[in-house]
Structures are given as structure tokens and as C-alpha cells.
Amino acid sequence: MEKFIISNGCALRVADSRKGEKTILLLHGYLESLDVWEDFAKLLSQEYRVVAMDLPGHGISQVMGPIHTMEFLADTVVGVLDELQIERATVVGHSMGGYVALETLRRHSDRVEKLVLLSSTPNTDSPEKLADRDREIALIEGGHKDLLAPTAAKQGFATDNLRRMKEEIVFLEEQALVAEPEGVVALLRGMKERKDSNELLRESTVPQLFILGKKDNYIPLAKAEEIVAGHPQATVAWLENSGHLGFFEEPEACAKAIADFVGEEK
């Protein structure tokens, strides 16, 4: 069921399966919306209550200013849990959604039952990535957001999967095109300012799962292995034939990794 709610002063679109003793909250990535989870959520909702939301600035949720900090987004996430009367949830963050999940853990650890980083990283942006974000901001503010859509959609998939993911590429291009330019820029600025979360994860008692694609163009295998090596406290699931979008490329394996993790006793 989809509905609009107000959380942290922001009008949001939320999807909620409403059934299940344990809740999984899905947070989408950059240039996405809750619509990316439609088929994937069905794989999880057989056992668990599944909630997804349009993060402010994406989908058809409200844009709240020139910058959407991770702190603001984390507080908004918890506001959604409050509105839906959910005490605690396993928070699954894809890419940018992982940054929001990490900040939710930092600010509201009592609301996070377990944490899943799906093709995401606890690191801050490298100088090269910061420069890329500045270029994207300039492009969008110059009225050329449409130029981002084709590149971002294709880059998210492993090269081996491009042919069979043609429909998904078109879908993701459409997702990028409908996002409000002001919202995209606000999120880019927020991502630039996010904190490093490595120590947060190492010191946390909240169970953690990293799901990583071995053919990810954004988090190359060597970098992914470095992240894993730095976090022996975390469970790791590798998707052998996925890029950055494992929930599209290997949905069953990705869903099983999450479901098994959620079902494990602490």
C-alpha cells in the first residue's frame, strides 16, 4: 500500500506491506525512488513487513531546501518509523541510501535493529568523487540534468549484464528524468558533506551486513575487498555476477542474503 505522510516536516511517499513481525526498511540510491524496489520487495514481504520511501528530493517526495544533509534524511527516516508505529527495523540502504542508513545508526541507534549496506560504503568521498559531484551540480544547475540519466543507468550494471538489463536501464533513465533538479542538487550537496562512518560501524553493537557486487563499476572489487577487510565485525555477502544494482541483477541471491540476515538470532 502506498500513501503520503509528513515526516520531519517533509511530505513523503511511502510504501508499506503492513504484515510481518519484523520490519525491513528499504532506502533507495541516488537518482532512484521507492519504485526501484517494487519487484524486489515482493521477495522479502513473504516473511517480513517491508517499508520503502522516496527520500526527500527524489521520487515524488518534497524538496526541503538547497541541501539535504544526511542528518536531516536520517531524522526523516525515523519520522517515518514513528508515523508507521514501527519501533525498530532492519535498515537496508542502497548506495546513497546506505549513507542515510549509516547516519540513522549514528543518530538513532535504538531504532536500528540491524543494518545492511547494499553496494554502499562507510567511506567519505575521495577528492575525485567530490569533483565529480561538483561537475554534476554544475550540469544540473545549467539545465542539463537529462544528460546524467543514460550514463548513470548503464554504469550501475555490470558490463556483462547490459544486454539482459535493457528494460531496467530504460526504467532507471526514467527515474532520473522525473527527479526534481533542485532535489538532485540538494542530495549531491548532502552526500559531499557526509561523515566517515568506519569507526561508527566498528564500535556499534548493531549487527551489520555488507552486500557487494564483484563487478561493480562504482565500488571496484579491490576497493570492496579493502572495505571488507576493515570490518571483520560485519557479515559479507558477495554477488558474483552483479555490478552496483544487485537487487536487479541477482534479485533472488540478494533477497536471500537479506532475509537470512534478518532472521538470524543475535
The domain that contains 243 carries what CATH number?
3.40.50.1820
Residue the block writes with cell 575521495: 126
- Domain assignment of residue 71, given as a range: 2-263
DSSP 192-214: HTPPP-HHHHHH--S-EEEEEET
Mean pLDDT of 105-123: 98
What would the grid cell of residue 212 be?
557487494
Instruction: Please state the domain count of the chain.
Output: 1
180-197 residue pLDDT tens: 999 999 999 999 999 999
Residue 266 has pLDDT above 80, yes or no: no
Phi-psi domain of 140 (left: phi exceeds 0; alpha: psi -120 through 50; beta: other): alpha
Residue 150 has pLDDT above 90, yes or no: no
The pTM is what? 0.97
118-149 residue pLDDT tens: 999 999 999 999 999 999 999 999 999 888 88
What pLDDT does 40 receive? 98
What pLDDT does 55 receive? 97
Parallel/antiparallel/unpaired status of strands 235-239 and 2-7: unpaired
Phi-psi domain of 18 (left: phi exceeds 0; alpha: psi -120 through 50; beta: other): left
